[in-house]
Amino acid sequence: MPSKTSLLGGLLVAITSFLAAQVNAAFITDYSPGCFRPATVKSGKFNMTINGTERQYVVRVPDNYNPFNPYRVVVALHWFGGTIDDLEKNSTKYGNGTYYGLKKIAGDTAIFVAPQGINSLWMNTNGEDLAFVDALVKLLDDGLCVDQSRRLAVGFSFGASMANAIANTRAKTFRAVAVMSGNQVTPFTGKSLPVSVYVQHGVRDPGIDNPITQGRAIRDRFVKLNGCIPKDVKEPQPGSKTHIRTDYNFCFFGHQVTYVAFDGVHEYSPVDAGKTSSWVPEEIWKFFLTAPRPTIW
């Protein structure tokens, strides 16, 4: 019968080996296969076939792209009735600039990609929309130099519903996800793992499928999933034209949750009283920059 000392020693070796494997995996997976060689993906609008259906997407690669520099990837998801062209425009009916205002902030540090939903929806029938996202991730990984630990996703309205599905099913792929005025309409299957999630919602959102109770429900799900310590949340009064940010930083698994309630309706570019531009792009980008590495277990 082995001694207690040998059993303890074996346990310590096993734990040390496990932790070393996690650390090594974290460093090994930073650089994608497309690093250190000529790019095979360029900026533009393209098509690919997913589950027998032709899908369209747009990619924006930094003008000064360097194959020796691993870039962040931002997957931007349009709203109900929206298109990838809407995300490309400097000004849409919702305002805020290209890719929800994030492209200007990111500058040349990120590759942006926007998939087009079937009939401008994100119903994920038979998993086809998540399969589309997976295919885009692989395309960029193989064709460009991507930092595989810094993939990010953002969506508004129905696009936020799709972002929620990504957060619930792709925690090992994405570092952080931003859900703006979203809901839980897009179906998904499988086990959900801890992941950093930013949730923003208007207290006066009139949407039938998008009342602020949806935003609170998504927030609460990830607070629990990430093992965060619950806290009292304040929301702005209607008519105040302000926003209140609540950060859940004390989370057992290290993946934080941020919840921003704003006095506004169904919009992704609310502006506080006395201001001329929206606070949203800066809040989301700050969250993306401070989010920890993706789940690796």
Residue 263: DSSP 8-state: S
Q: Average pLDDT in the 76-87 region?
A: 95
Q: How far apart are CA 103 and CA 222, in angstroms?
A: 26
295 within a domain of the structure (yes/no): no
Residue 31: DSSP 8-state: B
pLDDT in tens, 178-221: 999 999 999 999 999 999 999 999 999 997 788 999 999 999 99
Q: Average pLDDT in the 281-290 region?
A: 97
Reported as a pLDDT band with limits 50, 70 and 90, residue 7 is very low
- Do 75 and 19 share a domain, yes or no? no
Residue 101 gets the label, from left (phi > 0), alpha (psi -120 to 50) or beta, of left
- Do 98 and 22 share a domain, yes or no? no
- Do 18 and 111 share a domain, yes or no? no
Q: Are the CB atoms for 201 and 209 separated by under 8 Å?
A: no
Residue 6 has pLDDT above 50, yes or no: no
- Do 6 and 37 share a domain, yes or no? no
80 within a domain of the structure (yes/no): yes
Q: How far apart are CA 35 and CA 92, in angstroms?
A: 35
pTM summary value:
0.89
Residue 136 has pLDDT above 70, yes or no: yes
The radius of gyration of the chain from alpha carbons, rounded to an integer in Å, stands at 20
pLDDT in tens, 14-61: 333 334 334 444 444 589 999 999 999 999 999 999 999 999 999 999
Q: Are strands 176-180 and 110-115 parallel, antiparallel or unpaired?
A: unpaired
Q: What are phi and psi of 100, to 5 degrees?
A: 60, 25
- Do 106 and 131 share a domain, yes or no? yes
SS3 for 230?
coil
Beta-carbon neighbour count of residue 30 at 10 Å? 14
Domain ranges, residue 21: 1-30
Which tokens belong to 100?
Answer: 């929800």
